[in-house]
């Protein structure tokens, strides 16, 4: 999202084979000027303007010629082009100083792109990023409504205006609920997130927030509640407590009571707590159906339950005659998922006794041991803690440890470099049971 060279944002970088654009002889390097006479400022506007069954597309070719194409097509049919900058604009940055912001807790010397905080409704729609609605102009809000940017994901945290201003450190933060009411009236679907901080926005404040948001159901479709993440790199940042067994249980009891009320009223539990809170509380996860299709899966809500059921299903449906050779492999995971991964490894080994699986709990020395999720494990912690243990012929990790579009860890070590240092094949598994089982069995 960092391609912002002057006048290059709408340069065409790809033309799909067999597409309308290819039939029109539009080429890589051509420049999109306008659609239906409107200058295109970003990808959302482009998609909106090109949805119709008749459009006029103005292109400047590589030799400087301006051409207007009159195109008749199916409604919603795509033209088949991509741009050097995927959103045809500079991503909007966040000016907040949230007391819990994870990016503000990054140490120095990491990849430069990790320090960029976006707060852009377009990325919320396209990639699922969460936005605060505090860094937006009136025009931005009107664009969400006009271009039907839906669904969007909103970091709410609290609907108490004064408390939200304090948590986010933005004088406009208290206006969030009024903006959400406007979006709901316009038919925009919203999914919300609450980063829960003990003693700050929990208890009565959490109850108020869930009740306020549920009043906008079904336009507010769901709410995820995740515990604050505290790293050891919090110099000059506000003091925050982390959840313990007692405070996690209190939060779960409160939310489960509200879930029952929402279910009776809407037929949906509406608010869902992350797996991490249940693990901290030493409490059994809700059953599979309680997650209602895993509406907040990417926020760590129901990941363990879903993965566990998928692994059991895959193992159950492997033919009896399926042959697996004898081998030893290993899995590296964070402390929060360790017991679960051990349980899954036992299921695989009981079905295939010829496979030995070593499961290693990786302490997060890079961020601090208060960070327990697998997705924030760095290569240097893997190297430090796995160099002298039995790894077998393959080490399995979760794909979430690496950048979404590249095999590189948060500390700038590539998967290939990790393999060379550890002297073992390292295989990244996607977060689904089919991939987990298939990669172990090969």
Q: What is the mean pLDDT of residues 47-74?
A: 91
- Chain centre to alpha carbon of residue 107: 22
Is 151 in the same domain as 240? Answer: yes
pLDDT of residue 122: 62
Evaluate whether residue 96 is within a structural domain: no
Q: Answer whether 362's CB lies under 8 Å from 371's CB.
A: no
Reading the block at residue 140, the tokens are 């931005």
CATH (domain of 72):
2.30.42.10
pLDDT of residue 357: 98
Is 122 in the same domain as 241? Answer: yes
Evaluate whether residue 432 is within a structural domain: yes
Is 216 in the same domain as 296? Answer: yes
Evaluate whether residue 378 is within a structural domain: yes
Over the stretch 367-423, which tens digit does the pLDDT of each residue have?
999 999 999 999 999 999 999 999 999 999 999 999 888 899 989 899 999 999 999
Q: Residue 113: give the domain boundaries.
A: 103-301
Is 148 in the same domain as 292? Answer: yes
Distance CA 296, CA 283 (A): 20
pLDDT of residue 374: 94
**By C-alpha distance, which of 232, 193, 229 is closest to 209?**
193
Is 323 in the same domain as 296? Answer: no
| pLDDT band for position 71 (cuts 50, 70, 90) | very high
Q: At which of 239, 267, 301 does a domain end?
A: 301
SS (H, E, C) the chain: CCCCCCCCCCEEEEECCCCHHHHCCCCCCCEEEEECCEECCCHHHHHHHCCCCEEEEEEECCCCCEEEEEEECCCCCCCCEEECCCCCCCCCECCCCCCCCCHHHCCCCCCHHHHCCECCHHHHHHHCCEECCCCCCHHHHHHHHHCCCCCEEEECCCCCHHHHHHHHCCCCHHHHHHHHHHHHHCCCCEEEEEEECCCCCCCHHHHHHHHHHHCCCCCEEEEEEEECCCCCCCCCCCCCCCCCHHHHHHHHHHHHHHHHHHHHHHCCCCEEECHHHHHHCCCCCCCHHHHCCCCCHHHCCCHHHHHHHHHHHHHHCCCCCCCCCCEEEEEEEEHHHHHHHHHHHHHHHHHCCCEEEEEEEECCCCCCCCCCCHHHCCHHHHHHHHCCCCCCCEEEEEHHHECCCCCEECCCCEHHHHHHHHCCEEEEECCCHHHHHHHHHC
Over the stretch 73-131, which tens digit does the pLDDT of each residue have?
998 899 999 888 776 667 666 777 888 887 777 777 676 666 566 666 566 555 667 88
Within 13 A of 225's CA, how many CA atoms are on the CB side? Answer: 29
Is 249 in the same domain as 126? Answer: yes
Q: How many domains does the chain have?
A: 3
Query: Is the predicted pLDDT of residue 311 greater than 80, yes or no?
Result: yes
Provide the residue count of the chain. 442
CATH (domain of 385):
3.40.50
Distance CA 123, CA 276 (A): 26
Distance CA 224, CA 119 (A): 18
Distance CA 115, CA 106 (A): 8
Query: Is the predicted pLDDT of residue 8 greater than 80, yes or no?
Result: no
pLDDT of residue 120: 61
Distance CA 312, CA 434 (A): 10
Is 288 in the same domain as 316? Answer: no
Q: What is the mean pLDDT of residues 54-64?
A: 92
Query: Is the predicted pLDDT of residue 214 greater than 90, yes or no?
Result: yes
Evaluate whether residue 3 is within a structural domain: no
Q: What is the mean pLDDT of residues 223-236?
A: 90
Distance CA 340, CA 107 (A): 30
* pTM of the complete model beyond 0.85: no
Distance CA 381, CA 334 (A): 11
Q: At which of 49, 83, 117 does a domain end?
A: 83
Distance CA 299, CA 421 (A): 32
Strands 190-196 vs 152-155: parallel, antiparallel or unpaired: parallel
Q: What is the mean pLDDT of residues 196-209?
A: 97
Distance CA 428, CA 256 (A): 35
Per-residue CA distances from 388 to 212, 345, 378 (Å): 53, 21, 17
CATH (domain of 120):
3.80.30
| pLDDT band for position 2 (cuts 50, 70, 90) | very low
Is 322 in the same domain as 346? Answer: yes
- Chain centre to alpha carbon of residue 199: 26
pLDDT of residue 284: 96
Evaluate whether residue 91 is within a structural domain: no
Evaluate whether residue 333 is within a structural domain: yes
First to last CA, the chain: 36
Distance CA 20, CA 26 (A): 9
**By C-alpha distance, which of 209, 274, 197, 270 is closest to 237?**
197
Distance CA 242, CA 280 (A): 10
More confident residue, 435 or 105: 435
Reading the block at residue 76, the tokens are 């919603």
pLDDT of residue 109: 66
Q: At which of 27, 53, 83 does a domain end?
A: 83
Is 277 in the same domain as 332? Answer: no
pLDDT of residue 7: 45
pLDDT of residue 157: 96
Is 271 in the same domain as 130? Answer: yes
Is 277 in the same domain as 348? Answer: no
- Chain centre to alpha carbon of residue 311: 22
Evaluate whether residue 94 is within a structural domain: no
Reading the block at residue 395, the tokens are 């080490």
pLDDT of residue 6: 38
Over the stretch 131-147, which tens digit does the pLDDT of each residue have?
888 878 898 889 889 88
Is 313 in the same domain as 297? Answer: no
Evaluate whether residue 95 is within a structural domain: no
């Amino acid at each position: 999202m960092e391609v912002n060279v002057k006048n290059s944002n709408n340069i065409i970088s790809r033309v799909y084979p067999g597409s309308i654009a290819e039939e029109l002889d539009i080429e890589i390097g051509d420049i999109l000027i306008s659609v239906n006479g409107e200058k295109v400022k970003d990808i959302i506007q482009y998609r909106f303007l090109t949805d119709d069954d008749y459009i006029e597309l103005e292109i400047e070719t590589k030799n400087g010629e301006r051409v207007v194409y009159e195109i008749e097509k199916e409604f919603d049919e795509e033209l088949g082009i991509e741009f050097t900058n995927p959103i045809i604009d500079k991503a909007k940055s966040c000016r907040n100083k949230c007391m819990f912001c994870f990016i503000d807790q990054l140490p120095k010397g990491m990849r430069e792109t990790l320090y960029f905080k976006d707060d852009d409704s377009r990325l919320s729609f396209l990639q699922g990023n969460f936005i605060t609605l505090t860094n937006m102009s009136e025009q931005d809000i009107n664009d969400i409504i006009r271009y039907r940017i839906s669904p969007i994901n909103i970091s709410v945290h609290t609907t108490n205006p004064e408390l939200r201003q304090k948590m986010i450190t933005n004088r406009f933060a208290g206006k969030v609920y009024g903006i959400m009411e406007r979006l709901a009236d316009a038919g925009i679907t919203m999914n919300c997130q609450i980063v829960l901080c003990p003693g700050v926005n929990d208890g009565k404040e959490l109850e108020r927030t869930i009740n306020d948001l549920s009043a906008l159901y079904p336009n507010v479709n769901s709410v995820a509640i995740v515990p604050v993440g505290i790293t050891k790199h919090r110099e000059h940042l506000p003091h925050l407590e982390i959840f313990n067994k007692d405070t996690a249980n209190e939060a779960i009891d409160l939310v489960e009571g509200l879930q029952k009320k929402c279910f009776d009223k809407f037929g949906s539990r509406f608010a869902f707590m992350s797996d991490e809170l249940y693990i901290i509380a030493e409490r059994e996860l809700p059953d599979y159906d309680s997650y209602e299709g895993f509406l907040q899966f990417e926020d760590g809500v129901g990941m363990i339950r879903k993965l566990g059921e998928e692994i059991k299903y895959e193992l159950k449906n492997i033919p009896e005659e399926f042959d697996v050779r004898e081998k030893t492999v290993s899995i590296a995971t964070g402390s929060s998922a360790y017991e679960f991964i051990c349980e899954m490894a036992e299921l695989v080994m009981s079905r295939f006794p010829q496979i030995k699986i070593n499961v290693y709990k990786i302490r997060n020395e890079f961020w601090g041991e208060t960070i327990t999720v697998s997705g924030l494990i760095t290569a240097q912690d893997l190297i430090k803690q796995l160099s002298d243990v039995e790894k077998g012929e393959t080490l399995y990790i979760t794909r979430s440890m690496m950048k979404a579009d590249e095999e590189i860890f948060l500390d700038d070590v590539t998967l290939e470099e990790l393999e060379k240092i550890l002297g073992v094949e390292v295989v990244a598994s996607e977060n689904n049971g089919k991939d987990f089982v298939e990669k172990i069995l090969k």
